[in-house]
Amino acid sequence: MDTFKKLKGFYLPYKRLFITSMFFLLVVTAITIVYPVILQQTIDEVILKGKYGLIPYLAIGFVLIMLIKGVATFIQQYTGDLFGITSVYRLRNALYEKLQYLPFRYYDNAKTGDLMSRLTADVEGFRFFLSFGFSEAFRFILILGISFSVMFYYSVSLTLMTMLMLPFLAVSVYKFDKVVHPAFRGIRKSFGKLNTNVQENISGINTVKSLSREDFQTSKFNVSNDDYRDQQINTSYIWAKYFPLMELIGNSGIIILLAYGGYLVINGSLKPGELVAFYSLLGYILMPIINLGFTINLFSQSKASGERLLEILEADNEIFDKENAYDADRFKGEVEFQDVTLKYFGDEKSAIKNISFKAEPGKVIGLIGATGSGKTTITQLMTRFYEPVSGSVKIDGKSVSDYSIKSLRSNIGIVLQESFLFSSTIKANIAYGRPNATMEEIISAARRAQAHDFIMELPDGYDTMLGERGLGLSGGQKQRIAIARAICLDPSILILDDATSAVDMDTEFKIQEGLREVMKGRTTFIIAHRISSLKHADEILVLENGRIVERGLHEELLSNGGPYERIYHIQYKDQQAILQTQTG
């Protein structure tokens, strides 16, 4: 029960609903046990003794009991469902909130489809046990306790004889639980992998089709689907193996009852009506015992689901606000790296090593280098997406860890190479980081990002609804909206991570002209592969294998004969070749 103990904070606040449900379950169970007693009285007192005048009273009593049971059943089921629904409502919110604040390291290894499976199928599996499984377990205890009490009242010896099969049933139930729980955990994991395959395939359908990899994706899905099928078949085999065994052991009690109970009736030690009531009561006992496998099934599924949910809730959030973290209203914009080294999770090689530089407020810093050289990593450390292994990152003389995360990131505007847009209006996407922005500010940001003209050509202008991930816009249009979003934030520090890679040269020039005005008074970091995007920077840092190998102005670096000059000549030759082709 460790899993349920760890999750008790989500369902204990609603214990009144649970207690109410269990109270009315007690009422329903007690009334259920009354049926055999009424049957016994009808046979022994009415039929055998000829007291037919009691029949109307028994009938009226039976109807009243049925009405009470109906009302009690309604209240029990409704409060039980309400207990489960409200509990997982809080749990689902807590899971989603936890996912918002988990560090990038967590998402580096997590699978989207698996996380979606946990927030849907696993949460629902846990809810079903809270709503139904707990009540079934309590019903099992009640029905056994009350039924055995009545049976002992009728005949101690017959009750003890029918209990002979219980130890054997307990052993089979224990063995069933030991094998079925790992099986259900395997099903949950396999379902998560299946979800991941579907999510990745749908998200990357353009790539799949453009490279004619439909057959490969189908085969890959089939492998996951086969594993999911095998896990389910294995669980079905376990169920099919143990359920008949438990049923056989349970039904052996009926054989004992008929044999020994009949003997007691013949000898006059037991009344015929008591034997019939005994048979009904044993049925009440056997059915929950036989269905105990189903209850254990629910418990095992819920336990497996709970364990997967706890993996999220208990995941280490290494990046959090310190006590008394400083809330910065607005940065001056001084950024300093002091001998900073970072390793990503699971990597032996450092992503960046011994990085040191200082950016004065309002200066433009260019970052250039091959893919994987550490350019983006440097900017991710400014925003505390990751924590360095050693060294310190400072803004305005304070370590970034001294600031509250919200104030730190609200002062840093980022435009990524892969622009993500939400399924909302263009207006809402631009104002996403600053929801209280006025329409004039939104339009101004769009104009500076060279996005206003194409936005106004859309059917509903700024109120145009975008499809998933900005579906319906070109890559360049999405990138310009992302730039407008960063401009609208009005940040102290601006990070442009290859922000104009998806636009043509003419649009890039126009965007850069607009950004020059925006960059005034802001410390700006430009990550680019095109030297034309950063040649006007106040300082350019050239990175190779996570280290700064060159730094200086554009003109200085061109005369050094180093990596920057080589990159420049390669790009210059490419441009010359394009011009010759166009003019030839």
pLDDT band at 468 (very low <50, low <70, confident <90, very high): low
pLDDT at residue 359, as a whole number: 93
Q: Is the pLDDT of residue 289 over 80?
A: no
Res 539: pLDDT: 93
Question: How far apart, in whole angstroms, are the C-alpha atoms of residue 3 and residue 17?
Answer: 21
For domain 330-411+524-584, which architecture applies?
Answer: 3-Layer(aba) Sandwich (3.40)
- Mean pLDDT, rounded, for 546-571: 86
**Percent of residues, the chain, with pLDDT higher than 70:** 91
Structure tokens, 128: 């079903």
Return the pLDDT at 43: 84
Yes or no: say if 550 and 562 are a contact pair by the CB < 8 Å rule: yes
What's the average model confidence in pLDDT over 517-535?
82
Contact in structure between 293 and 173 (CB atoms under 8 Å): yes
CB-based contact 104:72 (threshold 8 Å): no
Q: Which two tokens stand for residue 240?
A: 């099919």
pLDDT, residue 507, reads 66
- Residue 285 DSSP SS3: helix
User: For the chain, what percent of residues have pLDDT higher than 90?
Assistant: 18
Separation CA 584–CA 572 (nearest Å): 18
- pLDDT per residue over 48-99, tens digit each? 777 778 778 878 888 888 899 999 999 999 999 999 999 988 999 999 888 8
DSSP three-state, residue 274: helix
Domain residue spans of the chain: 2-206+214-313, 330-411+524-584
The backbone torsions φ and ψ at residue 106, rounded to the nearest 5 degrees and listed phi first, read -65, -45
- Which of 104-118, 257-271, 305-319, 398-412 is the most confident on average? 398-412
CB 129 within 8 A of CB 18: no
Find where tokens 């359920």 sit.
243
The residue with tokens 């030759």 is 573
Nearest-10 crossing angle of helices 292-313, 272-290? 30
State how far Cα 228 lies from the chain centre.
Answer: 20
In residues, how long is the chain? 584
Question: For the segment 333-358, what is each residue's pLDDT rounded down to a tens digit?
Answer: 999 999 999 987 666 678 899 999 99
Q: Which two tokens stand for residue 551?
A: 């730094």
Q: What is the pLDDT of residue 575?
A: 55
What does the pLDDT average to over 284-299? 73
Helices vs strands, H then E, count in the chain: 23, 10
In this predicted model, what pLDDT tens digit does every residue of 403-455 receive, in sequence order?
A: 998 889 889 888 877 777 888 889 998 998 888 899 999 999 898 888 898 89
Would you say 528 and 502 are in contact if contact means Cβ atoms under 8 Å apart? no
- At 83 the three-state DSSP class reads helix
The Cα–Cα gap between 48 and 274 comes to 12
φ and ψ at residue 368, rounded to 5 degrees: -140, 150
Is a pLDDT exceeding 80 seen at residue 257?
no
- pLDDT grade for 503, boundaries at 50, 70 and 90: low
415 SS3 class:
strand
- Per-residue pLDDT for 504 more than 70? no
Which class for 148: exposed (0-12), middle (13-18), buried (19 or more C-beta within 10 A)?
A: middle
Looking at residue 19, its pLDDT comes to 92
Give SS3 for 541.
strand
User: Residues 304-337: pLDDT tens digits?
Assistant: 888 888 888 888 887 888 888 888 888 999 999 9
| pLDDT > 70? residue 500 | no
CA gap 508, 374 in Å, rounded: 24
Q: What is the pTM of this model?
A: 0.71
Alpha carbon distance 414, 502 (integer Å): 16
Closest CA to 260 of 161, 152, 168: 161
CATH architecture type of domain 2-206+214-313: Up-down Bundle (1.20)
> What is the chain's mean pLDDT, rounded?
83
Span 35-41, average pLDDT = 82
**In this predicted structure, what is the pLDDT of residue 314?**
87
Report residue 352 CA to chain centroid gap.
31
Q: Edge-to-edge strand order for the sheet containing 335-342? A: 352-359, 335-342, 390-395, 398-399
DSSP 551: E
* Cα–Cα dist 387/390, whole Å: 9
- CA dist list (Å): 462 to 23, 250, 424, 427, 469: 57, 70, 11, 5, 17
Which residues fall within 8 angstroms of residue 333, CB to CB, at 6 or more apart?
359, 360, 361, 362, 395, 396, 492, 493, 522, 523
CB count in 10 Å sphere of residue 293: 21
Mean pLDDT comparison of 163-172, 211-220, 443-452, 508-517, highest-scoring range: 443-452
Kindly provide the b/e burial profile for residues 483-494, where b requires at least 16 CB atoms within 10 angstroms of the residue's own CB: bbbbbbbbbbbb
| 3-state SS record for 274-338 | HHHHHHHHHHHHHHHHHCHHHHHHHHHHHHHHHHHHHHHHCCCCCCCCCCCCECCCCCCCCEEEE
Which pairing describes strands 523-527 and 364-369: parallel, antiparallel, or unpaired?
A: parallel
Strands 398-399 and 412-415: unpaired
Structure tokens at 249: 């052991």
Q: Mean pLDDT across the stretch 160-170?
A: 80
d(CA 180, CA 183): 5
Of the pLDDT bands very low, low, confident and very high (cuts 50, 70, 90), residue 502 is low
Mean pLDDT for 539-561 is: 89
Q: Please give the Cα distance from 274 to 44 (Å, whole number).
A: 8
Name the amino acid, one letter, at 212: S
